[in-house]
Amino acid sequence: MAFYYNEPSRTFSEYLLIPGYTSPECIPANVSLKTPLVKFKRGEESAISLNIPMVSAIMQSVSNDTLAVALAKEGGVSFIYGSQSIEDEAAMVARAKAYKAGFVTSDSNLTPESTLADVLALVEEKHHNTIAITDDGTGNGKLLGIVTGRDYRVSRMGTDTKVKEFMTPLEKLITAPASTTLKEANDIIWEHKLNSLPLIDENGKLVHLVFRKDYSQHKENPQELLDSKKRYIIGAGINTLDYEQRVPALVEAGADVLCIDSSDGYSCWQKKTIDYIREKYGDTVKVGAGNVVDRDGFNFLADAGADFIKVGVGGGSICITREQKGIGRGQATALIEVAAARDEYFEKTGVYIPICSDGGIVHDYHMTLALAMGADFLMLGRYFARFDESPTNKLFINGTYVKEYWGEGSNRARNWQRYDLGGKKNGLAFEEGVDSYVVYAGPLHDNVAKSLHKVKSTMCNCGVTNIPDLQKNAKMTVVSATSIVEGGAHDVMLKNTMSSSR
């Protein structure tokens, strides 16, 4: 006869936090969201700590090098997706690590033989107007000119007009050597009233662009997460099949932390992967593992040597593992049990292994609940897929701007390595994810700031100003179905609903 749990499997929406005493010091400006990313011993500090408790999911539709840089600017870490070739993933990691705050590698490039139609298409795709014109149409080709919105007028020019006819040519541009420092570049920009300054090497090839707008943006990112060389901290996903080839390539590319991407972490395959990393690199390469939903799963991965452990099976918005296979657990229940196991392990061994809540976040307040339940940080997919910086297409469907979002277990992703159980079939027998859209939400910076202000405000309501105190002092209550209804707007006619129905 199977073992039965006495308590039901619960989700975040079934809980509320009880307010605590709010002292004069409990204001959002005083709240620290710093949290450990990888394990550490009692009395020591984590080798890598996050400035915000957010990491992005290891998904094709979420985490590429663009989002990795954007999230690192805010103080979090992106795990670049591993369901691509080893060479392509390593290249993404290398690009993100090579990115310097203020020094931009041009991602909008054309040749002089391109047309105005190509310009307009690129502006629509990239959402900015500065296009480098190079001999080979790449971001590091020989610079021949620049096109901005001031160089053309759609109403007066045919879309077949060649770029060479309206670009600002190199001889009319102010440029600087590739060795120019950020301060020197900004001085040139201000002196000559430029919007951008191309930096070129001794062969005339474009190396970077420095933008006027980035000067203030750099000053506005005091939380940015940097390594000892002032580069952004970048994560990368791996699987349990080609790790002997993928891990060295990602380490060589500069990845700061790895994470095994799997729907079920309680397996011999994850232990084999961690064993390989420990034998080859010792503790110098940090690797997270998962996913698990109970104490046994946590203890298995902790003993295997994981640097952090992900919690959650089947709770993602695009995940249908529970529907297809009947396995999983409500995210809140899973997190509460694994957090207790984490604390027991710490008491027994003196080693603190951070846990990551992966899935089940529907509303911003769920983030605070997850942290209060014991999560050290959160892995988010749908949340980040909505932003400008995610790698998917922005579309206009039924009067609404959306972005594409698909699961790694969908036929579109074909990430069979994530779900393989050692058979090495090189294919998905059935889907465990869906292909969908999410409503477009704009830039990552603005949305993350708003969400985390809610988290900080709620923490102040609970009388705490840091995550460890929230985990220690929070009081929670299970809510009934009736009180869930009571918690939203009810028994009124909303003005925006009435006006939209006319």
Q: Report the catalytic residues.
A: 319, 418
Distance in angstroms (rounded) separating the CA atoms of residues 128 and 327: 45
Q: Of all residues in the chain, what percent are helix, strand and coil, respectively (each to 5)?
A: 35, 20, 40
Q: Do 190 and 204 meet the contact criterion of CB atoms below 8 Å apart?
A: no
Cβ neighbours of residue 285 closer than 8 Å, sequence gap 6 or more? 247, 251, 258, 277
Which tokens is 323 given?
A: 């529907």
Using alpha carbons only, give the angle 3, 8, 10 rounded to the nearest 5 degrees: 130
Which tokens is 362 given?
A: 């529907």
Q: Residue for token digits 């070739």?
A: 85
Would you give the distance in Å from CA 75 to the centre of its chain? 11
Name the DSSP class of 418. Answer: H
Name the DSSP class of 100. Answer: B
CA-based nearest residue to 389, from 73, 122, 88, 146: 73
Q: Residue for token digits 């995940």?
A: 319
Strands (E), 204-333: 206-211, 235-238, 257-260, 286-292, 308-311
Burial 53-66 (b: 16+ CB within 10 A, else e): bbbbbbbbbbbbbb
Distances (CA, A) of 404 to 67, 219, 420: 15, 32, 25
Q: Do 463 and 473 meet the contact criterion of CB atoms below 8 Å apart?
A: yes
φ and ψ at 477, to 5 degrees?
A: -135, 145
Using alpha carbons only, give the angle 195, 197, 199 rounded to the nearest 5 degrees: 165
Q: Do 106 and 139 meet the contact criterion of CB atoms below 8 Å apart?
A: yes
Terminal Cα distance for the chain, rounded: 59
3-state class of 158 per DSSP?
coil
Would you give the distance in Å from CA 111 to the centre of its chain? 33
Distance in angstroms (rounded) separating the CA atoms of residues 316 and 381: 8
Which tokens is 415 given?
A: 């990430």
